[in-house]
Amino acid sequence: MNPVSDSCPHREACCQFGRSDKIIYGFLKEVGTNVFVHGTYDYDLAVIGGGSGGLACAKEAVNHGARVAVLDYVTPSPLGSKWGLGGTCVNVGCIPKKLMHQAAILGESIHEAVAYGWEVPAVGDVKINWSALTEAVQNHIKSVNWVTRVDLREKKIEYINGLGSFKDPHTIVATMKNGSKKELTARNIVIAVGGRPIYPDIPGAKEYCITSDDIFSLAHPPGKTLVVGAGYIGLECAGFLNSLGYSATVLVRSVPLRGFDQQMAGLVVAEMETRGVTFHRRAVPVSVEKMENGQLKARWMNTETKEQSEDVFDTVLLATGRYALTADLNLPAAGVGCVAPNGKIVAATEQTDAPHVFAVGDVLQDRPELTPVAIHAGRLLARRLFAGGQQQMDYDNIATTIFTPLEYGCVGLSEEEATRRHGADSLEVYHAFYKPTEFFIPQRNIRNCYLKAVALREAPQRILGLHFVGPVAGEVIQGFAAAIKCGITMEQLMNTVGIHPTVAEEFTRLNITKRSGKDPNPASCCS
């Protein structure tokens, strides 16, 4: 789209009656033009937060002719870690996490190469160079930061490296690094500030502990590490640290991977335990103190027995949840009042209770905290605002993967959630253990390689959820996510010819139900 100009054939008809922008837009759409009115605001769209969702929304808006500004500022972590433009995913989330996970896989592959005939000198002495690893990871991140800055400049999106907050419904005040203030106005405003890790209220938490904000740029090897929390961030960090050669212990408050299928979560934990990760269940941290030698003494308590335990670690990594960065936005000034105690904005869609203020990404309550979700929601929002789009974000059946040593990929409902919604008697659960070909040489543990399909029992048995624990789970589950979106049934899945030998084909071979009581273990790789 383009701004309404003096040459616009509909300008006089729209403006002489002093109609509101919304009415004008409807009129222009009706008469067949796609222009919209910029009005007296500095920008058509201001985005607070330069993460994946905010940037996607900004870029899409510019594609449709909007004038856009993006405000982004990273407050350093208590340890002092800070980063560039791009948000959590690029800097301290998905990207560095996957690179660390890949480093761990490569280390395992070096040892396994001997069994395939590779002559690897002194394989027993193979170890990670932490400084080289973090330098490589940070160099990649900085390159992405730079490309993102260049992309904004080329698209003529104004980037403001300042901390934004509302002065009134349409005015944002940006506090710059040097403390100076910059004001700007915008017709529409998108909140995409994401979140940051929660520090538990215990002695020594902020003074001596790190979080996922710090681990990927940690200046020294982490050594023996205590991970507090057993959500996906905690388990992923414990997994790659252990595989890189750093002893890892995990405190589990209640259940691992809360919100995910608990049978699959149990397999993930079981695999991590076989690889040497220690788990303390029903455990909550009590305190962390720094010893004279620089190590950390951590104490924790069993929530059932109230018994306290302690151990000495080199690093304590907190992964006890995240909160949304909305406290400093002065949301009441914008008319946004529906905010949860964790700072997240409560909204049925991306529109808040202020008609011109929207939110995308992790800042929304009860939405998947996933980068692709934020990106897609941001793009759809921009199309609705500036291109007459109607499509709303569909938050159901979002695929995801936990990058633990044995990965867990899933899409759709967990078995527990499917049971809650439909009742156990209405479900049929197909399941199987399997033997990845790549685990044959050398002989690797296959006890936790497992998958299942949760389906309605009534024909044609529409599939409600697919779950997979095994190698390259993310690559496996992505294609099946599209199938779930299309309403795939068990009959269709069983009539799909698999690619042999792959782990993904195991879904096409599912034929044993839990209800049958039959052995779900395969007789051979081709059974």
DSSP states along 170-191: TEEEEEETTS-EEEEEEEEEEE
pLDDT of residue 21: 46
User: Mind giving me the DSSP string for 415-426?
Assistant: HHHHHHHH-GGG
CATH 3.50.50.60 in the chain: give the residue spans: 43-198+321-396, 205-319
Tell me the three state secondary structure of residue 405. Answer: coil
10 given a catalytic annotation: no
| Predicted pLDDT of residue 123 | 75
CA separation for the pair 284, 230 (Å, rounded): 11
d(CA 157, CA 66): 9
Q: Where in the chain is the domain with CATH 3.30.390.30?
A: 406-509
Place of tokens 């993310």: 474
Answer yes or no: are the C-beta atoms of 358 and 169 closer than 8 Å.
no
- CA atoms within 13 A of residue 93's CA, in its CB half-sphere: 19
Listed as ranges, residues in the chain with pLDDT below 50 are: 1-36
The pLDDT value recorded for residue 18 is: 35
Cα 19 → chain centroid: 42
Global confidence as pTM: 0.91
Q: What is the residue type of 422? A: H
- Crossing angle for the helix pair 415-422 and 262-274, to the nearest 10 degrees: 170
Distances from the Cα of 145 to the Cαs of 50, 51, 71, 142, 483, in angstroms? 11, 11, 15, 5, 34
Would you state the pLDDT for residue 525? 58
Q: Which CATH class is domain 205-319?
A: alpha beta
Q: What is the CATH T-level fold of the domain 406-509, as seen in this structure?
A: Enolase-like; domain 1 (3.30.390)
Please report, for the chain, how many H helices and E strands are present, in that order.
Answer: 14, 21
Largest CA distance in the chain: 84
* CATH number assigned to the domain with residue range 43-198+321-396, chosen from the 4 options 3.40.50.720, 3.90.870.10, 3.50.50.60, 3.30.390.10: 3.50.50.60
Q: 45-84: buried (b, 16+ CB within 10 Å) or exposed (e) per residue?
A: bbbbbbbbbbbbbbbbbbebbbbbbbbbbbeebbbebebb
Instruction: Check if the beta carbon of residue 214 is closer than 8 Å to that of residue 306.
Output: no
